Amino acid sequence: MRVLMFGWEFPPFNSGGLGVACLGLTKALAQEGVEVLFVLPRKLPVSSSSMRFLFADQEAKVTVKNLDLLLTPYITSHGYEEARRRHGSSLYGTGLFAEVHRYARLAEEIARREDFDVIHAHDWLSFGAGLAAKEVSGKPLVVHVHATEFDRTGGNTINQYVYEKEREGLHAADRVVTVSTFTKQMVVDHYGVNPTKISVIHNAVEHDERRCAPSGFLALKNEGTKIVLFVGRLTLQKGPDYFLRAAKRVLTYDRSILFLMAGAGDMERQIMEEAAYLGIADRVLFLGFLRDEELGEVYRSADLFVMPSVSEPFGITPLEALSYGTPVLISKQAGVGEVLPHALKVDFWDIEEMANQILAALSYPVLREVLIDEGKRDAARCSWQDSARSVITLYQHLLGPSY
């Protein structure tokens, strides 16, 4: 079985969970014997050595096809125009939507040249490419929803063009995969997709050895400072402002607690200013975008990880936190809650309750103990292998029993 997959940048070049999910799924598919022709929009050619590193075991199964595009996950029209100015090339589309269109034309060429059985496209930026490939080849299309425009904007300033593109892809696809039941409901309610056409396949986390360097935070923690951690893009969807307000509430009760925020994003400046305005700038530290060992050490240093997302289709970070033995508090508006029955949960807007649960987790040692034990067990049950098998079953369903 050969899949033409329109995916996104892998770590260490990713800027969020989409790349992590694409990598996890692709690796696991290859391990299950599926050949993946992975189309990767990218400004620079991907070095073959880094790909060899990523797919050390499955090199023969995964072929990465680089397309010179200015598209990245989470990109906005504004962000695109900036990137285009920076690169100063007339090669790229005159605007984000022109670039998405160019992607579809390039995808058509690939679909004409290559041999494959099924097409799999991740998120709206690649839906057009998937559709174009389907039209040229007549092969079935699977679209995979990691986030919708409603998640990204909190339902406020929906971009009509993006919505139309999402809707078009969802309706034209032969099958839709959502990363949670939460997102499935979103796709049914807001895009009018028939629920029987949608399969929920949860994301997972890689269960390899967790490396982390000794850190100053770990030393602080060992001295008794309680640490509460946020990891995520500083953008509306992730609720960094709710995290800050909960921090403020907690600090009125116990001034010694330290809040760490790891991540970058369009709200970075606003959040920093708000911390100062709330008078808690000394207890909230901004760490910027972290990865690998650096991220590992803050995960391990934290007494509690908080994901206050306003709308989170899945959310891999709580699984990462648990894999470092850190208990998690997540918003009820997050798909990952479906695989974490033993996490603390709160409505993202319920600051009082969020603060209450943060303080309880820090005050009652036995609560942390149980949350860690049960949470780790929940997280360990999430495997990319299982997700890949579900995807393969779905392919087989589309292609017939001979595959």
Partner 1 sequence: MPSVCLYFQVHQPLRIKKYRVFDIGHDSDYFNEAGENNLNNKRILRKVAEKSYLPANAVLLELLRAFPLFKLSFSFSGMVLAQIQKEAPDVLRSFQMLTNTGRVEVLSETSHHSLAFLYSQEEFRSQVRLHDELIRHLFHQIPRVFRNTELIYNNELAHVVEDLGFLGILAEGADHVLGWRSPTFLHRAKDTTRIKVMLKHYRLSDDIAFRFSSKSWSEYPLTAEKFARWISAHNGNGHVINLFMDYETFGEHQWADTGIFDFLRAFPREVLKHPDNDFVTPSEAIARYPAVGELDIPHFVSWADVERDLSAWRGNPLQHDALAKLYAMEPAVLATRDLALIEDWRRLQASDHFYYMCTKWFADGDVHKYFNPYGSPYEAFIAFMNVINDLQLRVGRANRTGTEALLTLPSYSHS
Kindly list the residues in this chain that would bind partner 1 in the complex (CB under 8 A).
Answer: 253, 341-342, 344-345, 352-353, 355-357, 359-360, 363-364, 366-367, 369-371, 374, 378
Structure tokens at 156: 């406020």
Write the single-letter amino acid at 115.
D
CB 127 within 8 A of CB 146: no
Minimal distance, residue 361 CB to partner 1, in Å? 8
Write the single-letter amino acid at 377.
R
Q: Residue by residue, what is the 3-state secondary structure of 15-59?
A: CCHHHHHHHHHHHHHHHCCCEEEEEEEECCCCCHHHHHHHCCCCC
Minimal distance, residue 180 CB to partner 1, in Å? 17
> Whose Cβ is closer to partner 1: residue 293's or residue 352's?
352
> Whose Cβ is closer to partner 1: residue 82's or residue 352's?
352
> Whose Cβ is closer to partner 1: residue 63's or residue 356's?
356
159: left (phi over 0), alpha (psi -120 to 50) or beta: beta
Write the single-letter amino acid at 374.
E
Task: Judge residue 113's burial from the number of C-beta atoms within 10 Å of its C-beta, 0-12 exposed, 13-18 middle, 19 or more buried.
Answer: exposed
Minimal distance, residue 198 CB to partner 1, in Å? 22
Task: Judge residue 377's burial from the number of C-beta atoms within 10 Å of its C-beta, 0-12 exposed, 13-18 middle, 19 or more buried.
Answer: exposed
CB 304 within 8 A of CB 346: no
> Whose Cβ is closer to partner 1: residue 144's or residue 245's?
245
Minimal distance, residue 360 CB to partner 1, in Å? 4
Minimal distance, residue 349 CB to partner 1, in Å? 15
Minimal distance, residue 369 CB to partner 1, in Å? 6
Minimal distance, residue 373 CB to partner 1, in Å? 8
Q: Would you list the DSSP string of 188-250?
A: HHHH---GGGEEE-------S-------HHHHHHHTT--EEEEES-SSGGG-HHHHHHHHHHH
